[in-house]
Amino acid sequence: MTVLLLANVGNRDVWVDKHAPIPGEVNPHWNKGASRRALGKAIAENWAACRPHVRLPIIGKAADHIRQQVGQIDQVILISSDQSGQEGVADHHLAQDTCELAPVVERLLVEGHGLAPGAVTHWRARDNPADYGHMRAFFRERLSALRETYPDATCYLEVSGGTPAMTSMLLTVGAELFGLDAHPLYVSEHEERPFLLDIGRRLVAESLTETIRANLNIYAYHAAANTVRDNVDILHDYIPAKTLLAALEHAQQRRNFNFADAWAAAGQAADAHWRICLFSFAADTENPPRNVLLRECIFNTKLAYETKTLFDFVVRVFQFVEGVWRYLALQLGVQFEHNGKPNEDGKELAKAWQQSHEALVDRLTQQDVRLEPVNRFVLKRLVEELAGDDLYQEPQDLLKKLTPIGDLRNRVVHQYHRITLELLRDTYYPKKRDLKRHPPEDAVDIIRAMEAVWSSATGEPFPDETPYRAINQLCREMLTLKDPTEMAKPTPPPEDP
């Protein structure tokens, strides 16, 4: 492993005591505005005598810390300012350039901080070191080349010295190009140890959360969950990652109608506050009754429409139509069985029920209705006979209009027929005069019809929003990055209303 240390050389990076054998006007101890060019030259010219009187209060601490933590530094890169090649630069700005201090810093690193001779490199920023644009271009060019030379290096960024532009651009460009291999250090003259800023990890965490948000926008819960699962060690410093994963897995299993696992996933939310929020709309997934299953079918149809996964759209309509016919049949007292045992989803009419409704069974048989196996057509005829002309008339009428949409399932499954919004619209509005009044986007009317069927059949108003919108909102709230110190504090549960 290659370990790099990059450090801007600022005018506080070489400390000189009052006894240093150099002219007083170039010693910052006596003259705070002393020329750093002149200071560097004066120390270099009288090195042996000056050596006991100078030290590195910032870069030296950074180098010692890194060597203690990882055992090595393979290369130090010192970045200094040198505007001598620019025209029109005022003398007082030239005087504060740090290019003459960099060689002093190098000698002190080698002689006092364990750096190998030849392990220190100098970079000179020759444009205005206070200009953010120039410094960004400088660091992008230099750090890009450095990253190519050392693709697997661990890079420490000492960001205490230099101008604000040099500091911020070393920090942001370094973190961007080196990612998790970048470890920004802030060193105070008054503290014994540097502070690890870890901006690189935060930038990676921000990128990951943006990916997760994009997945939420298209309800791609499986992809979002994989992103969290694969990067939980990074994310958990900034967001409640394990609780977020529980919410995503709940949503994915819910979309799959795997309600047992969806309920179990909600219970895996580690944080009490978020767990209560998740259970507020997950409660229906614990042993959901048939009306809830039908409602979930509509929710999934809505998602299919929003994401334009139209194959799934027609399959869900098919599922809903058959499901409502069976729901109505059960409401009217029809009994089903499977292998001789009562089963609401059975493909056979219960023998006892047939015996108690012998006249109805005979009438349907005479109409060439084959009662077994029970399918959509059988369920429809049973409901029509038992409900009469008044009961459930509205859902029956709408179901008959939805049936052709469900029948598209057979075309796409068996004939590989393409599905478009135009096909859905044309199937739902078969008359030519309707086609002129309804653009293809009016296929959404199919969903409105499903909602009306559900409300009429169950006697309940259909919810304004899908639970997936609530799940997405909850996940987005969890994706707000926090400081790692805040993440360490437990989140109190919400107070009882």
Tokens 């644009």 sit at which residue?
133
Rounded CA separation 441/447 (Å): 12
Angle in degrees, 0-180, between the axes of helices 421-428 and 444-458, rounded to the nearest 10: 50
> Contact at 8 Å (CB) between 109 and 76?
yes
Tokens 């478009």 sit at which residue?
420
Query: Strands 195-196 and 182-186, how do they pair?
Result: antiparallel
Q: Which tokens is 357 given?
A: 């409704």
Rounded CA separation 275/91 (Å): 64
Distance of CA 496 to the CA centre of its chain: 31
Residue ranges in the chain modelled with pLDDT below 70: 189-192, 195-200, 483-497
**In the CATH hierarchy, which fold is given to the domain comprising 3-197?**
Rossmann fold (3.40.50)
The H-assigned helical ranges of 11-156 are: 36-45, 47-50, 59-70, 91-95, 101-112, 132-149
Residue 350 backbone phi and psi in degrees, to 5: -60, 135
The model's pTM: 0.68
Which tens digits make up the pLDDT trace of 64-85? 999 998 899 999 999 999 999 8
pLDDT of 496 reads: 41
Rounded CA separation 408/221 (Å): 27
Tokens 């060439």 sit at which residue?
368
Give the Cβ contact number of residue 59 at 10 Å. Answer: 26
Determine the 3-state secondary structure of 196 from DSSP: strand
Q: How many residues does the chain have?
A: 497
pLDDT of 320 reads: 96
Tokens 């970048």 sit at which residue?
182
pLDDT of 197 reads: 67
Q: Which of 103, 112, 87, 109 is nearest to 37 (CA)?
A: 103
pLDDT of 495 reads: 47
Q: Which tokens is 403 given?
A: 């049936």
Q: Which tokens is 119 given?
A: 């392990």
339 Rama class: left (phi>0) / alpha (psi -120 to 50) / beta: left
pLDDT of 432 reads: 78
Whether the link from the prior residue into 490 is cis, omega within 30° of 0, is no
Query: Strands 3-8 and 154-158, how do they pair?
Result: parallel
Neighbouring residues of 132: CB distance < 8 A, sequence distance ≥ 6: 165, 168, 169
Residue type, 191: E
Determine the 3-state secondary structure of 132 from DSSP: helix
Determine the 3-state secondary structure of 12 from DSSP: coil
Residue 110 backbone phi and psi in degrees, to 5: -70, -45
List of E strands, 313-464: 336-338, 341-342, 348-349
pLDDT of 87 reads: 87
Q: Read out DSSP for 396-449? A: HHHHHHHHHHHHHHHHHHHS-----HHHHHHHHS-SHHHHHH--GGGGHHHHHH
Helices (H) and strands (E) in the chain, counts: 24, 11
pLDDT of 141 reads: 96
pLDDT of 390 reads: 75
> Contact at 8 Å (CB) between 136 and 175?
no
pLDDT of 229 reads: 92
CB-count burial class (<10 Å; 0-12, 13-18, 19+) for 226:
middle
Residue 445 backbone phi and psi in degrees, to 5: -60, -25
pLDDT of 37 reads: 93
Q: Which tokens is 295 given?
A: 């409602």
Q: What is the DSSP letter of 123?
A: E
Question: Cα dihedral sign for 290, 291, 297, 303?
Answer: negative
Q: What does the angle CA 492 – CA 496 – CA 497 come to, to the nearest 5 degrees?
A: 130
- 3-state DSSP percent of the chain in helix, strand and coil, to 5: 60, 10, 35
> Contact at 8 Å (CB) between 129 and 165?
yes
Rounded CA separation 141/145 (Å): 6
Give the Cβ contact number of residue 313 at 10 Å. Answer: 26
